[in-house]
Structure 1
Amino acid sequence: MTKEAQFEENGILKEIAELLNEGTDTKTMLSDVLKRLLYVTGLETGWIFLIDVDGNHELIADFALPPALAMNQKERMCHGKCWCVNKYNNHTLNKATNIIECKRIEDALDDGAGETWGLTHHATVPLRAGNERFGLLNVGSPNKTHFHKNELALLEAIAYQVGTALKRINLTQREQEIALVAERNRLARDLHDSVNQLLFSLSLTARAGMEMTEDEEVKQTFSYMQDLTQEALGEMRSLIWQLKPRGLENGLVSALKGYGEMLGMKVEAKVTGATSIPGNIEEAIWRIGQEAIANCKKHSGAADVFLSLHTSWNETILTIKDKGCGFHYNENLSIPSLGLKNMKARTEALNGLFRLQSQLGNGTEIKITIPL
């Protein structure tokens, strides 16, 4: 490699590194990096797959896909397997390499799916940092059927930069989650040690005052104070539980059952599927489940609640239903309560689907589906 070529390559790596260092949102960062990479290398099209531990890929970024691949909201890119993903999942793709042909384009041609703009081949590069793997970078140009050794080396260097940035973002997110849990634990301890103890003392004082007086009206006043204090204690325990759920370390369903039992509800649970749930989705399901069970306690008049959690490779489904009094609900109208609106908002924030069914005298069912 000449000094001029070396200087140019170093300049490209510097530009990509600057973009990666500035990025905090994975999708935006990878889209910007892909566009810049194609511009400085003279290549015309590319896409990036993130691939999870189960081998499922997600199209996270793309640029200038030919119509045959972009049609139907890029369905051909988002679903199905291909040679490069298969090689990645089989651990036979460990460095930048030429792919003889692109299976997705070959299938599109066989199906007569549209114009491919002469794109038939692409280079594929694994995104990795040390022993951690994150996905694939694919780039190509019309009528380009081979990538030279220097081109592959550059792509590999850029892919390693991307992998390191993805690792940094993942570590940052984990640190934020740990900090959030620590802050909730601290707040739960403070509430227990201060407000909860004050309410308990007030309850004892009201009880003592009721026993010391002979005046019936004063007795009733102290009795009312004690009832209010007991109610506030119950609300405080519920709040502390929400901040620091006992049993979540033993699983989401165990924690929800424990929360229901704390409220005096009998929770019948069913769990199917075996795929692990990402932390942010587990957190959302925990909060939604709490709200749903609390609603059953407050409004249904039923003592039993049924909970079902199903997890597959691509989605998690939580169903909570009771056989209580129910209420009149029209799905064409706005949701009637703040709690239900919060559940719907949490679900849709994760691109999920919130479904509510209820009829007077026939109970209520809440079903949320969140993609993984």
Structure 2
Amino acid sequence: MTADPSGIPPSGTATRTPAILVLEDGRSFSGYSFGAAGETFGEAVFQTGMSGYQETLTDPSYHRQVVVATAPHIGNTGWNDEDDESTRIWVAGYVIRDAARIPSSWRSRRSLDAELKAQGIVGIAGVDTRALTRHLRDKGAMQVGISTTELDPAVLLERVRRQPSMIGAHLADDVTVSGTRIIPAIGFKRFTVAAIDLGIKSMTPHRMAERGIETHVLPSTVSSDELRATGADGVFFSNGPGDPAVADAQVELLRAALADDLPVFGICFGNQVFGRALGFGTYKLTYGHHGINQPVMDLGTRKVEITAHNHGFAVDAPIGEDIPTPYGTARVSHVCLNDNVVEGLELKDDQGRLKAFSVQYHPEAAAGPHDAAYLFDRFIQLLADAEGVN
């Protein structure tokens, strides 16, 4: 029999390594090893994108999460060296139904299975992901374990139930840069932006570079004095993992930027930090929004955008109200049409001029869609207005 370049044996052969998946409520699924052999734990979430799995797996926002792919066939395009959103795969584990045996993209350099093995990421294939997704949708995101070494569900369940909750988890410091990293503007430089790395994706500073922004990516632990020392014209707060309720240092940093009248733009975790800085609370969603097909309405324009999401927490803010804050008047700017979750905030001064804004979704959308790309242009305009230039 000719060797399969994916490393995955054909269906029905005896060489597949069995694996099991056990949820903290006791439900279990059987399958076979996909990626590295071993055992892993994390919070189980389902991701509804039909494409872009490489960007998903390398998104730092998935740190300590086991991702369930709802698309039934994964691995078709293999793995290339251009589409990573960070320096490594961040998911704690990967769950799929059918694994592509042979990649079919001309850009592929190796199979998905081979890359998971190389990075030590434990996965499981052959799972009824439709049933698993429906279970998580009804019961909510929960802790999960995957193992190729312990095939007794009762034994694995005990380990699953000892895992820490995502509630109260401070994870931004796990995924941030160790020092300042500068991404130059493409072409003529217009502005300098300090990007607080809470788990930033590589496409975000690229989108800003395309618009003439030199981005200084700073660690999540940066002080307000260190931020000021960059001489940045504005501040960006990135996406990232964990519970925003414990991101106190980042909240204070954002408040300091607002007090200095610096333009601020935040996405995802940055939106939640912005919400807390304005005085709003945050809460954990039942199963979160994870995918590239989420409908969001811009309440200012009434335009509906199809957007990319990856968040398990949300901002608790009243919709349709102007809320006074120490920095100006805040208002919810975007909502998810699936469940009315807050998907954006804006802050205006006493003259009604925009000072800062954020969205809960991902406008850089490396795997698409690109409906929300205009938000980077809005940030450029905000920077220009603050500088008094055209």
Provide TM-score, normalisation by structure 1. 0.27
Higher strand share: 2
Higher helix share: 1
Q: Specify which structure has the bigger relative contact order, considering alpha-carbon pairs within 8 angstroms and separated by 6 or more residues.
A: 2
